[in-house]
Each structure stands twice: as structure tokens, then as C-alpha cells.
Amino acid sequence: MEGVRFGASPSTWHSMTLAAPPSPARPPPAPIADPALLRALPQVQKLMETEAARELTVLFPRQAVVGALRDALDAVRRALLAGDIGGDAVSPESLNGTLIAAARGALEPSRHRHLRRVINGTGIVIHTNLGRAPLAEDAVAAVAEAASAYSNLEFDLESGERGSRYVAVTGLLHELTGAEASLVVNNNAAAVLLAVSAIAQGGEALVSRSELVEIGGSFRVPDVIRQGGARLVEVGTTNKTRASDYEAAVTSDTRAIVKVHQSNYRIVGFTSAPAMTELAALARARGLVLMEDLGSGTLLDLRTIGLPHEPTVRESVAAGADLVMFSGDKLLGGPQAGIVVGRKDLIGILKAHPLLRAVRIDKLSLAALEATLKLYRDPARLVAAVPVLAMLAAPMPVLERRAEDLAARLRGIGGLEVDTADGNSYSGGGSLPETTLPTRIVAIRANGLGTAELARRLRLHRPAVVGRIAGGRLTLDARTLDDRDLPAVAGAVGTVLVESVTE
């Protein structure tokens, strides 16, 4: 760099040169791989002719094997050009095996389905992120039968004419809820959207301010109502809403009163809300439709299994609700579905609405729902047969025995600190928000492996094991474990510990 000359005037130059700062050290030139090494890399076609590659094509599609080998070769080529590896790494004796192993490692995950079995040790019975309700054995069998062959989904076997898919559950829902008619769609948000679209579109829907809820996944009841084409009219206050608040808000444009059950939260203290019978009387007097979104919904009086009361669908129908919407895969213990029961004329309007086609239930969910509903006709068998109800109702002696059984299996592995302790389970799924269920947990800590890392490795195991971390230990709740899960849990923990030692 040239110096910079300064002068006072053209006649008297006072000059100086500023020394240029030292140039930063230049990085060493990138190594250039010996062209002979690059030429020594095998061709993909030659690799495909090896016995090891042919074995891969038995397990994976040929094109996938070719792509994986090409990627592995590209990685070696880049490493040579960067100087990360030397010529000894590309000797024919070692390179072919390395490339085949790299290709197999890249292909192996594709052998497994993304959706896979998870053993739930969290103590959250209706775990939204783990698929909500596990199905009853009868429902699983019904799904398998419907999936593996043709079915009479929309075919009347008696007449030989086109039939309706909904007849599979119409009679059952009438029997179990007392409603005149019913309709099932693919989830409860769709049920609410369909009801609002068919009944209140272009008009007003009245909702208490205490019931403008978010139902999970950032889906909010006000948004669903607006999407249905109705104008949302808020009534009352957050803590107190009276029947008179609804009555004062009724105009010539009002089409419906929408009641939203507070299934995933509670407002306590200085509160009041009108009874369903009051709202039903108001709706009848003013020619409005009274809809109730029960959210989780239940067909069983939960007090019979030792839990707090939640309004049942039958109670809502008896109280005068014109339409009641609820989920199939929460407290009901069935598949994902949105169930609508109520007045026959209104259900007819919903069935005629164009949106129904977009949200209708599929044959596998319908098969599972029918099988689940049939279990509700047999109270003596119901709780034991529906996994969600069995877990919620599990008595402490059963939980204690299960926890001790698992603890004994884990103590036999070695390298673990294992304890059993009291804990709390939760219903989950936006239901029974104030209820904790006493349980027994197994708490483990691995020697030489952090608890977070132990939890991560168990999640990645097949089958995955998911627990909760508390007090620096991984806890597994006996309530959401099945006796049949215990050998798999112990096996997963043992495998993870062995792998951590041998790495």
C-alpha cells in the first residue's frame, strides 16, 4: 500500500508517510487432492456390482441404493479436495466397505414408518401429541376389517342401492344420547364449523365472553365462528353471564346461541352462568338455535369411576340443546371424529350443506367409532374395554403393583438408580383441567448418562419410550403404562445403557 502524503501548501511541503498496517496473514492455500486419488474412487456402477450392494437392493429400491452410494462418493470426494482425509482412506481394501456402510446408514431410516408405536410414561392419559385416545381392541379389529377389504360403506346390502355411511352409528347415537338424529364428521372443530355455516351464516351468533376459548393448536372458537360466516356477538362478562345478557343481545339478525363448555379451563370465584334449560327456553321463545360445543364430551357419568362430574351428551340433549357437538377421540375413547347430535330437522340441514363433503368422516374412523359406541351399550364391560376409561379408573393397588414390577425389571439391568414414589397423573386432551389423579411413578437415573440424554435416547428407541423429567430423574407413570409395555420399557432402557457404554 502506498503512503499518504500531507502538505501545508504547494510551496512548503511537509510530508510524511503513514506506514500501512501489516497485512493479515493469508490462509494457507487449500490443499489440492492428488488427481490420482480422485481417479481411484470407484464408479457407482462398479459398486453396484459388489455382493454387498446387491444385498442392499434386496432391502431397498435399487434407485435409492444408487443415490445413497452416489452421495457417499460425493462426500469422500469433497473430503479429499478439502484435505480432510488422505490417500490411505481411499485404498480399495477399505473404501468399498466404507461407502456401502455409509449408504446403508443413510437408507436405514427409510425402512421405518414415521408414525410408530410410543410407550406413554408421561401420566397424561389423553396425550394430544401422542395421538390422544388409544383404541379399544374391538375398534382395532373393526378398522383392520374395513381396511383390508371392500365394505358396505355407502351400499345398502338389502336393496342393492346406494346407502348412507352415517347409518352405521345413527341408531347407536340415538340410543346413547337420546337425540333425534346425528351426524359424524372428521373432528369436533369441523362439527362446530359445519353447524355454524349451516345455521348461522350471514347472521349473528351469541357467545358468552367467558367461553371465547382456544381449543389447542392456536385454533380459537371465535375464529371458527367467523369462518362459518356468522357475526360473533359477545355477551356478558368474563366471570358473570346471565340469561338476560343473551336476551338483551338478540336482534332480528340473530340466528344462534353458541354455548361452549369450559372443558380445558375453569373460571372460579365470583362467577355465574345460566343453566342450559334457561338458554333453551330463551332460544325457543325467540326462534333461535341453541348449539353446545361440549369439547371433549362424554357419554359416561364420570362419577361412576371416581372422577368429578362432567356434563354428559345425554344431559345436554335433555336440557334442551338443539345441537350438541363433541369429540370422538378424547373422553369417549374412540377415533378422531366430530359428532353432532340433536334435532332431526337441523341435522337434515347440516347433511345438505356443501361443506359436509369436505369434512365427512372416512371409513376407517367410522368403523372404529361404531365399534367404540357399541361398547357403551355394555356397562359391565365398558371401563375395562376402553383404554382411556381403564387408565382414568385404575385403582391405586393396580398402579402400585405395576410400578413395583417395572422397578424390579429395571433394577435387574444395573447401572441405574431406581426408585418408586407417589405422583400425579392428568386426564389431558382438554378435559378435567382441575383434576389430578394420584398415581405411582418409577424414577430412574443412569450412571454416566445425563437424564436429558437418557430421555432423548429412549424417545429415539423403537418402540419409543416417553416419560417426564422431574427432580433430575426420568419418571415413568404406571397409570399410562400397560402391563404389556413393561418388558419393552426395560428392554429399551437396557439397550440405551449398553449403547452409551460401547460408544
Show pLDDT as tens, one digit a residue, over the chain (503 residues): 444 333 344 343 333 333 444 555 555 544 555 676 677 788 899 899 999 999 999 999 999 999 999 999 998 888 878 777 666 656 666 788 888 999 999 998 888 888 999 999 999 999 999 999 999 999 999 999 999 999 999 999 999 999 999 999 999 999 999 999 999 999 999 999 999 999 999 999 999 999 888 776 667 889 999 999 999 999 999 889 999 999 999 999 999 999 998 766 677 778 888 999 999 999 999 999 999 999 888 999 999 999 999 999 999 999 999 999 999 999 999 999 999 999 999 999 999 999 999 999 999 999 999 999 999 999 999 999 999 999 999 999 999 999 999 999 999 998 899 999 999 999 988 788 778 999 999 999 999 899 999 999 999 999 999 999 999 999 999 999 999 999 999 999 999 999 887 76
H or E element at residue 45: helix 44-48
Enumerate domains of the chain plus CATH numbers: 35-110 (no CATH), 118-125+391-502 (3.90.1150.110), 137-385 (3.40.640.10)
Hey, what long-range contacts does 317-320 have (CB within 8 A, 24 or more apart)? Answer: 317/177, 317/178, 317/179, 317/341, 317/342, 318/178, 319/275, 319/276, 319/277, 319/280, 320/276, 320/277, 320/279, 320/280, 320/281, 320/283, 320/284, 320/290
**pLDDT value of position 452:** 97
Q: What is the pLDDT of residue 16?
A: 36
C-alpha distances in Å from residue 261, one per residue of 204, 269, 485: 20, 17, 35
Q: Exposure pattern of 275-310 as b/e (b: 16+ CB <10 Å)?
A: ebebbbebbeeeebbbbbbbbbbbbbebeeeebeeb
Distance CA 370, CA 377 (A): 11
258 within 8 A of 228, measured Cβ to Cβ:
no
Q: Any idea of the CA torsion for 340, 341, 345, 346, to the nearest 10 degrees? A: -40
pLDDT of 402 reads 98
CA atoms 177, 179, 181, 186: torsion sign = negative
**DSSP code for 265:** -
Q: Which tens digit of pLDDT belongs to each residue from 464-488?
A: 999 999 999 999 999 999 999 999 9
What pLDDT sits at residue 429? 83
- Taking alpha carbons only, the member of 364, 313, 371, 376 closest to residue 165 is 364
* pLDDT per position as a tens digit, 160-171: 999 999 999 999
> Which is nearest to 46 in space by CA: 69, 17, 20?
69
Burial class (CB in 10 A: 0-12, 13-18, 19+), 26: exposed
pLDDT value, residue 18 = 37
User: How far is CA 224 from its chain centroid?
Assistant: 20
Which pLDDT belongs to residue 32? 52
